[in-house]
């Protein structure tokens, strides 16, 4: 991996540098980015190919890849130019959008920062696109029976390169999901049409490599980035986005709440191959000087348009935090833990009025459908402690989100539903069941849940337990939690730890659901492990760097990478080595027949505990 320093975004008004934006480029060790061509459409779909030693006797494994061009050494990375925008052609080819002047960027959009603190705008400015009339959403097309390029792209991605997989094994319990053996573009269309999957794909996000979120596809994960008033910068946030997708984040949310929100977001979206989500109420609050009571529909609407023009693919909107529900939180242990939820609750009580997000929901739909921004209906009243799990406030909001889902769908708007939070294990299934019933099978997108409150510093783990379980039960996307949860803003290392942890949870869920592609990965790694193909084991690991570094802490020499033991047990006690000996002797004896011969073969071969691995290439 290399870090490619980039031309810094410096303030044109001042000769001072804002700092380099360096992002991680180059392949993950042992892997390379490959493509499946789609000749009919003229695009190519990325995968990550994991290299195995020829002695493995099996094809290199290909896995789903979200890392974008950054891991392709043939790609030219120029953060100031942004990624290529092949998707823009697909959008324009539909003939139902127009470009227009767009909204002017105002000082309030960047929090009225002073000139010397203003992050430079992204250098390239384009006129945004919007619908000429009607809806330009993937749902609208799907319902009209159209298989879009986005849907075809998704179908190819979700199928993996299954011709390479020796054994497609479907062994799981999926609680009534409908995961097909093979994903066809028609299947994708149908899932989107019925609202059971979303393809978050703003028409202004031309850099997007389309992906789907839905129960009947691979479980996805989201990583959160974004600055706060206390810390971080545009360089850090762009770097975090690239770092997060490198390790496997399928979408990224920019949750910035500090200065320069608009400009930072431009740099992120223009350089992101994955869908970007935001919570527009944060920026709206900044625009009114942080005074929640001064929020209004007008400020919010303006923010939606501003962000839609930039190409944000999904908005978290807390339209379920309704005035009558707020008192239901009065006796909670941790009140309202959602930033957006607490802001809206404060507004409702200050004005003694119903939430304008709820009342104006149909008008929000008008905007969403004109750009194809997907709703992520926020769980503003989610439980922030074990004590508050599954309470009346939480489920009252969920029922409302179900009601709003129907309105959104009536407008051809794509919808996913956000979920908890902090939930002890025995209450997790009920969350899935209620959401399925209330929200018409719209995709569920949970934060964990955390299964205990007692381990700040380790909440990636307390929540991985709940996330794996709720993913198994049917949740479509898992929002990561880092070790810094409850304690501070995550740094780069925390982002990686959170992503790897959530890839574990998502994959464990795919496996338990019996997803046809899941077992191939576990089996490939276990074969490598059993055959002492150490480098292959490292290459196949979710985090090859760490796997190899941990091994090398005690056995650093190259010869150790073909050793038939590691430092856990040493050469005499390695059970896998002994297993191999048993197996080899058994096969030799079988050829000669008879159990006596078997015993003899063992005694004869028993002395040799170390055999060199096949010669390296």
Choices 178-186, 206-214, 267-275, 553-561; region in contact with a second copy by CB under 8 A: 553-561
Q: How many CB atoms lie within 10 A of CB 500?
A: 19
Binding positions for a second copy, 228-247, rule CB under 8 A: 228-231
SS3 417: strand
Choices 180-188, 362-370, 402-410, 483-491; region in contact with a second copy by CB under 8 A: 483-491
**β-pair type (61-64, 21-25):** unpaired
SS3 23: strand
Q: Which residue has the tokens 């290459």?
A: 539
Residue from 458, 492, 588, 613 binding a second copy (CB under 8 A): 458
Name the residue nearer to a second copy (CB basis): 432 or 442: 432
Name the residue nearer to a second copy (CB basis): 71 or 501: 501
Q: How far is it, in rounded angstroms, from Cα 616 to Cα 106?
A: 61
Instruction: Read off φ and ψ for residue 49, nearest 5 degrees.
Output: -100, 125
Q: Is 351 in the site for a second copy (CB under 8 A)?
A: yes
Burial degree of 81 (CB within 10 A; 0-12, 13-18, 19+) = middle
Q: Does 581 sit behind a cis peptide bond, omega within 30 degrees of 0 on the bond before it? A: no
Q: Is 354 in the site for a second copy (CB under 8 A)?
A: no
Residue from 410, 599, 614, 616 binding a second copy (CB under 8 A): 599
Q: Nearest distance from residue 200's CB to a second copy, in Å?
A: 24
Strand partners, 63: 48
Binding positions for a second copy, 259-298, rule CB under 8 A: 282, 285, 290-293
3-state helix, strand, coil in the chain (%, to 5): 45, 10, 45
Site track for a second copy across 88-117, x = CB under 8 A: ------------------------------
Q: Is 392 in the site for a second copy (CB under 8 A)?
A: no
Residue from 567, 610, 611, 616 binding a second copy (CB under 8 A): 567
Q: Nearest distance from residue 64's CB to a second copy, in Å?
A: 12
Q: How far is it, in rounded angstroms, from Cα 358 to Cα 344?
A: 10
Name the residue nearer to a second copy (CB basis): 106 or 426: 426
Q: How far is it, in rounded angstroms, from Cα 157 to Cα 208?
A: 14
Q: Nearest distance from residue 102's CB to a second copy, in Å?
A: 28
Q: Strands (DSSP E) along 238-382, which ranges?
A: 251-254, 276-278, 314-317, 374-377
Q: Among 263, 276, 315, 238, which residue's Cα sits nearest to residue 106?
A: 263
Binding positions for a second copy, 112-171, rule CB under 8 A: 171
Q: Nearest distance from residue 359's CB to a second copy, in Å?
A: 17
Total site size for a second copy, rule CB under 8 A: 129
Q: Among 336, 337, 365, which residue's Cα sits nearest to residue 349?
A: 336
Residue 445 in marked binding region: yes
Choices 65-73, 266-274, 301-309, 522-530; region in contact with a second copy by CB under 8 A: 522-530
CA torsion angle 108 114 117 119 (round to 10): 40
Q: Nearest distance from residue 535's CB to a second copy, in Å?
A: 12
Tell me how many degrees the CA angle 455-459-461 measures, rounded to the nearest 5: 100
Q: Nearest distance from residue 574's CB to a second copy, in Å?
A: 8
Q: How far is it, in rounded angstroms, from Cα 589 to Cα 535?
A: 31
Q: Among 246, 236, 261, which residue's Cα sits nearest to residue 312?
A: 261
Q: Among 228, 491, 477, 457, which residue's Cα sits nearest to residue 339?
A: 228
What are the residues whose beta carbons fall under 8 Å from the beta carbon of 34, sequence distance 6 or more? 46, 47, 48, 49, 62
Q: How far is it, in rounded angstroms, from Cα 148 to Cα 145?
A: 9
Residue 205 in marked binding region: no
Name the residue nearer to a second copy (CB basis): 180 or 456: 456
Q: How many CB atoms lie within 10 A of CB 107?
A: 12
Residue from 83, 119, 264, 489 binding a second copy (CB under 8 A): 489
Residue from 527, 533, 561, 564 binding a second copy (CB under 8 A): 527
Q: Nearest distance from residue 480's CB to a second copy, in Å?
A: 13
Site track for a second copy across 370-389, x = CB under 8 A: --------------xxxx--
Residue from 346, 360, 434, 492 binding a second copy (CB under 8 A): 346
Residue from 40, 114, 176, 352 binding a second copy (CB under 8 A): 352
Binding positions for a second copy, 212-231, rule CB under 8 A: 228-231
Q: How far is it, in rounded angstroms, from Cα 325 to Cα 345?
A: 9
Which tokens belong to 114? 């002073």
Name the residue nearer to a second copy (CB basis): 185 or 424: 424
Q: Is 56 in the site for a second copy (CB under 8 A)?
A: no
Residue 413 in marked binding region: no
Name the residue nearer to a second copy (CB basis): 128 or 172: 172
Q: Is 345 in the site for a second copy (CB under 8 A)?
A: yes
Q: Is 576 in the site for a second copy (CB under 8 A)?
A: yes
Q: Is 179 in the site for a second copy (CB under 8 A)?
A: no
Which tokens belong to 134? 């009607």
Q: How far is it, in rounded angstroms, from Cα 413 to Cα 605?
A: 68
Q: Is 367 in the site for a second copy (CB under 8 A)?
A: no
Name the residue nearer to a second copy (CB basis): 23 or 500: 500
Q: Could you tell me which residues are annotated as the binding site for Zn(2+)?
A: 422, 486
Q: Could you tell me which residues are annotated as the binding site?
A: 224, 253, 282, 318, 338-340, 379-382, 418, 422, 445, 486, 566, 569, 574
Q: Could you tell me which residues are annotated as the binding site for substrate?
A: 224, 253, 282, 318, 338-340, 379-382, 418, 445
């Amino acid at each position: 991996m290399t870090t490619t320093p980039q031309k810094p975004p410096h303030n044109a008004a001042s000769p001072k540098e804002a700092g380099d934006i360096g992002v991680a480029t180059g392949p993950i060790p042992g892997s390379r980015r490959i493509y499946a061509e789609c000749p009919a459409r003229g695009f190519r779909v990325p995968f990550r190919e994991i290299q195995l030693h020829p002695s493995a006797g099996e094809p290199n494994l290909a896995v789903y890849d979200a890392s974008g061009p950054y891991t392709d050494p043939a790609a030219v990375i120029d953060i100031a130019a942004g990624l290529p925008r092949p998707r823009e052609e697909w959008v324009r080819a539909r003939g139902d959008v127009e470009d227009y002047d767009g909204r002017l960027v105002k000082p309030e959009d960047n929090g009225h920062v002073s000139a010397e603190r203003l992050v430079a705008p992204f250098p390239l400015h384009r006129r945004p696109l919007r619908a000429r009339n009607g809806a330009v959403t993937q749902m609208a097309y799907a319902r009209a029976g159209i298989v879009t390029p986005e849907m075809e792209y998704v179908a190819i991605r979700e199928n993996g390169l299954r011709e390479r997989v020796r054994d497609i094994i479907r062994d799981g319990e999926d609680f009534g999901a409908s995961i097909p053996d093979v994903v066809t573009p028609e299947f994708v269309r149908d899932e989107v049409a019925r609202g059971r999957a979303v393809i978050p794909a703003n028409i202004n996000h031309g850099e997007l490599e389309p992906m789907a979120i839905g129960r009947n596809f691979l479980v996805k994960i989201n990583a959160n980035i974004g600055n706060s008033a206390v810390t971080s910068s545009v360089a850090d946030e762009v770097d975090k986005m690239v770092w997060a997708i490198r390790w496997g984040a399928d979408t990224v949310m920019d949750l910035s709440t500090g200065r320069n929100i608009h400009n930072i977001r431009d740099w992120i979206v223009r350089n992101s191959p994955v869908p970007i989500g935001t919570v527009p109420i944060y920026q709206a609050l900044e625009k009114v000087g942080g005074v929640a009571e001064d929020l209004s529909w007008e400020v919010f609407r303006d923010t939606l348009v501003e962000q839609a023009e930039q190409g944000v693919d999904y908005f978290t909107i807390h339209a379920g935090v309704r005035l009558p529900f707020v008192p239901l939180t009065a006796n909670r242990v941790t009140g309202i833990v959602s930033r957006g939820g607490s802001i809206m609750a404060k507004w409702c009580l200050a004005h003694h009025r119903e939430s304008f997000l709820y009342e104006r929901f149909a008008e929000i739909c008008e905007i969403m459908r004109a750009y194809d921004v997907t709703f992520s209906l926020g769980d503003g009243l989610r439980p922030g402690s074990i004590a508050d799990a599954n309470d009346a406030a939480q489920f009252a909001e969920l029922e409302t989100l179900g009601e709003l889902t129907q309105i959104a769908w009536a407008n051809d708007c794509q919808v996913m539903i956000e979920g908890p939070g902090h939930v002890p294990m025995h209450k997790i299934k009920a969350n899935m069941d209620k959401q399925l019933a209330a929200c018409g099978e719209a995709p569920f997108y949970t934060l964990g849940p955390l299964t205990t409150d007692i381990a700040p510093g380790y909440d990636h783990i307390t929540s991985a337990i709940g996330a794996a379980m709720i993913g198994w039960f049917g949740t479509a996307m898992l929002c990561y939690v880092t070790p810094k949860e409850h304690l501070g803003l995550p740094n780069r290392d925390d982002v990686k730890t959170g992503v790897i942890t959530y890839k574990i949870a998502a994959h464990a869920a795919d496996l338990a659901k019996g997803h046809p592609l899941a077992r191939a990965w576990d089996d490939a790694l276990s074969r490598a492990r059993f055959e002492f193909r150490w480098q292959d084991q490292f290459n196949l690991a979710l985090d090859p760097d760490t796997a190899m570094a941990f091994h090398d802490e005690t056995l650093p020499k190259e010869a150790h990478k073909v050793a038939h033991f590691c430092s856990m047990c040493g050469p005499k006690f390695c059970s896998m080595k002994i297993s191999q000996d048993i197996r080899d002797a058994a096969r030799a004896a079988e050829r000669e027949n008879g159990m006596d011969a078997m015993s003899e073969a063992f005694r004869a071969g028993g002395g040799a505990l170390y055999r060199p691995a096949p010669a390296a290439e």
